[in-house]
Structure 1
Amino acid sequence: MVQSSVSQRVNRSKRLVSIKDIAKEAGVSVCTVSLVMNNKDHNRVSKAVAQKIRATAANMGYKPNSVARTLRTNKSNTLGFVTDEIATTPYAVRVLQGAQGAARKLGYILLTANTNNDAELEDQEISALRRYNVDGFLYAMMYHRKVDIPEALEGSLTVVVDSEDAAGKVPSIYPDDEMAGYDATNRLIQAGCRRIVYYGSATTVIAQKERLSGYRRALAEAGIAFNEALVVNVLEMTNAAAEAARVFDEIKPDGIFCFNDVRATFIYEAARERGVRIGTDVSVISIDNQPFITDVIKPSLTTLELPHYEMGFEAIRQLVAMLDGDKAVADLKSDHGMAVQRQRDGGKTALRCRIIERDSIVL
């Protein structure tokens, strides 16, 4: 008997394990195994049975025949991730990590293409992904803006990440910049600040307009009159240092809301040169949570963390829901928790940023 059992395991190892083998070993039907191995078991197979089948398949060394499955179902269970430069950016790479995490939980493989903002290369990469018969695409950008979906993606299920589809035809996931401006300003108000500078951006990006709008809403709700003189918009490479100096020399605020962490470094330097103690004499808050800034400058910077991981995770959730139905993603949960969402018109989803409390706000 021992020799026979060993012989069976040896013979099994020489050939691919099939779902029929798993069904026999687990004592269930082939149909039940098929539902579980194709992640179609929600509300159709008990969790205990599904867990037993997956454990049996793992113990038997089951490897799905992806080619056969694609021919049979016309689905490859692969998704394309097309990005301008996220895959090469240290802190924004979390968008990709979030997408990979959700895809893995849902039984999908993610194929990534980085286009380096080259339209010709973008078309080539999308064509290459199509040759792998991907079931759908994430179209991910480096920062929040309105984008035109490439013609190469026409006819494919697509979700835009960290930007908005200009035509409003496909779902879009992006940070809730208006709420970020509101939350940042409100945090300063809660700390007792009343003369709050918005040290913003002179560029016309969506985030600037939205964050300023959130700043104004928080002031209005607190009964603080908006003062145009407290809005200081700068460019990092030209006038940021000079305007930071003016903030302290002329405006003399008790709170400063910075458009991003990079701009906050100019405020820190101007304060240091003048002997102004951040976190004691003036409160400062920012947006981005870039560790190579927030963990280095002193006192450590209170900032709002952009929901990079959550954007990638939520984008996959919405894409797979379009592919397999809402039930397929009903139990999907992130190990990192999910940001609060605000649904907007045209399939748009805005994700709230989290405040990371540190030492730059007066207690």
Structure 2
Amino acid sequence: MTTIKEVAEKAGASVTAVSLSLNHRENGHVKKEVAQRIRRTAKELGYRPNPLARSLRTSRTRTIGFISEEIATTPYAGKMILGAQDAASELGYMMLLVNTDGKGKETDEIAALKRYGTDGFLYAKMYDRISSVPEDLTGCPTVLLDATDGRGKDGVPFIVPDEVAIGYDATMYLIRAGCRRIAYVGCSEPLIAEPLRRKGYVNALKDAGLEHDPSLSIQVLNNRPALKAVERLFDDARPDAFFCFNDARAWYVYEAAARRGLTVGQDISVVGVDNSRIISETFDPRPTTIELPHYEMGYWGARKLISIIEGHPLKPADTTNTLAEMPPLDAPCPVRIHCSIVERGSVTKRKNGGTVHEA
């Protein structure tokens, strides 16, 4: 294994200069060109830092804890965990994952992570909601994922999807496809995302010069009455397109359309949210949808946490696996991440009153 002394000899620099340069703390101590030569030499020699020696020197273990309140059992959690794991690995950190019930077990799991000397914590929720990190994490570097810290400026950094942009982008996509009577199938549960996505829907209609017709909006649960409500929407309001709060609610549109002899992607258009794998692989045509940035939230959160732990700017991010544009680490809270649209066959492009099917 290549040592720091061997890197110093090869680069023609002191051990101190090598240490400062490899830890990106050379400013004011090592000339820029020398630091670049040192890092280039270390890469050529295949140098890897000794984590045990580093932890003894810095009093840090280079581990972070990922605390999930049941998200490890949801379909989307894997992407958030993977994003955080990728970012941690790129920066030379290990990540320990615990799944809690948000109650007594949470305190025990946090205590266990602290016994391992964890340097900081990612605290993740199942969906965007007003939340606060546990008192057990007070004074510890912490970043909140997919939730809004209710303490505002006194809280910890957090990142959430840009919910208003979700509604705006989905509706504007339908408008650009030629749709004019766009219905909104919302959620009647008290979720932060519901009024924000609806606001984006209304804003898009306004910006396109279309009147917002309240009769085209409904809020429903995931149950049989929801299907009846969507059927009434079909019969009474005669929409030519639907923006659905999520992909699960898009099912009611597909079912109601089929019962009326209408074909999604030809007679009507549908855009959902979530990019649910089960739905996208089951529905025909596959639904156009907004991809929620679970991977990106995990990736940004881990990088933000490590920047807090280390107290200095990080090297540029590897965005190879990201679909959404990553916000800067120094962005002020609330940090909202813009989501990407996944185009499939459920939207019809209309020309001169006719329709053109989008494959």
Structure 2 equivalent of residue 56 of structure 1: 45
Which ranges of structure 1 fall in alignment gaps of 5 or more residues? 1-15
Whether contact under 8 Å (2:287, 2:345) holds in the other structure is yes
The offset of 1:137, in angstroms, is 1.0
CA contact (8 A) 1:278 1:360 kept: yes
* Aligned counterpart for 1:269 among listed residues 255, 259, 280: 255
Look up the match of 1:86: 71
Alpha-carbon distance in structure 2 between the residues aligned to 1:346 and 1:65: 32
Aligned to 1:7: none
Match of 1:354 among 340, 343, 356: 340
Residues 299-351 of structure 1: CA distance to partner in whole angstroms, max 9, x if unpaired?
11000000111111111222222222443x14223222463467999622000
Task: Provide closer, same or farther for how the CA distance between residues 114 and 44 of structure 1 changes in structure 2, counting only shifts above 3 A.
Answer: farther
**Deviations for 1:78-118, whole angstroms, at most 9, x for unmatched residues?**
11111112223233311111111111111211111111x24
Could you tell me which residue of structure 1 aligns to residue 112 of structure 2? 128
Structure-2 change in CA distance of 1:73 and 1:138 (3 Å):
same
Equivalence for 1:241: 227
TM-score (norm 2): 0.87
CA contact (8 A) 2:70 2:99 kept: yes
Name the CA shift for 1:356/1:41 in 2 (closer, same or farther; >3 Å).
farther
Name the CA shift for 1:259/1:41 in 2 (closer, same or farther; >3 Å): farther
1:145–1:206 Cα contact (<8 Å) kept = yes
SS at match of 2:297: helix
In the alignment, is the contact (CA less than 8 A) between 1:39 and 1:107 conserved in 2? no
Counterparts of 2:262 and 2:51, CA distance in 1 = 65
Structure 1 residue 41 displacement after superposition: 6.6
Structure 1 residue 154 and structure 2 residue 146: aligned? no
Change (3 A) 1:18 1:52: closer
Question: What does residue 209 of structure 2 align with?
Answer: 223
Q: How does 1:276-295 map to 2 (within 5 A)?
A: 276-295=262-281
> CA distance change for structure 1 residues 65 and 98 in 2, over 3 Å: closer, same or farther?
closer
Letter in 1 for 2:271: I
Is the contact made by 2:11 and 2:37 (CA closer than 8 Å) also made in structure 1? Answer: no
Partner of 2:310 in structure 1? 324
**Is 2:18–2:38's contact at 8 Å kept on the other side of the alignment?**
no
Corresponding residue of 2:168: 182
Give % identity. 42
CA RMSD of aligned residues (A): 2.4
Q: CA deviation at 1:253?
A: 0.3
Q: Contact conserved, 2:296 with 2:326, CA < 8 A, in 1?
A: no
Match of 2:57 in 1: 72
One-letter amino acid of the structure 2 residue matched with residue 140 of structure 1: A
In structure 1, the residue matched to 2:103 is 119
Give the C-alpha shift of residue 355 in structure 1.
0.5
Match in the other structure for 1:5: none
For residue 124 of structure 2, the aligned residue among 140, 144, 158 is 140
Structure 2: how far apart are the matches of 1:129 and 1:54? 33
Give the aligned length. Answer: 342
Letter paired with 2:164: E
Give, in angstroms, the shift of residue 18 of structure 1: 4.7
Secondary structure of 1:217's counterpart equals helix
User: Conserved in 1, the CA contact under 8 Å of 2:17 and 2:35?
Assistant: no
Cα contact 1:178–1:214 (8 A) shared by 2: yes
Distance 2:18 2:307 in 1: 22
C-alpha distance in structure 2 between counterparts of 1:37 and 1:151, whole Å: 36
Matched, 1:98 2:83: yes
The match for 2:239 among 253, 261, 282 is 253
Aligned pair in 2 of structure 1 residues 89, 39: CA closer, same or farther (>3 Å)?
farther
Gap regions ≥5 residues in structure 2: 350-359
Quick one: distance in 1 between partners of 2:327 and 2:190? 23
Write the distance in 2 (CA, Å) between the matches of 1:342 and 1:151: 28
The residue type equivalent to 1:173 in the other structure is I
> Which range moved further: 100-109 or 178-187?
100-109
* Equivalent-residue separation in structure 1 for 2:243 and 2:301 (angstroms): 30
- TM-score (structure 1 length as normaliser): 0.87
SS in 2 for 1:250: helix
Aligned pairs for 1:335-354 within 5 A: 335-337=320-322, 339-340=324-325, 347-354=333-340
Partners in 2 of 1:132 and 1:20 — Cα distance? 30
**Alignment equivalent of 2:283, drawn from 297, 302, 309:** 297
Letter in 1 for 2:157: P
CA distance in 1 between partners of 2:12 and 2:34 (Å): 14
Question: Which of 14, 19, 38 is the aligned partner of 1:34?
Answer: 19
Separation of aligned partners in 1, 2:224 and 2:252: 12
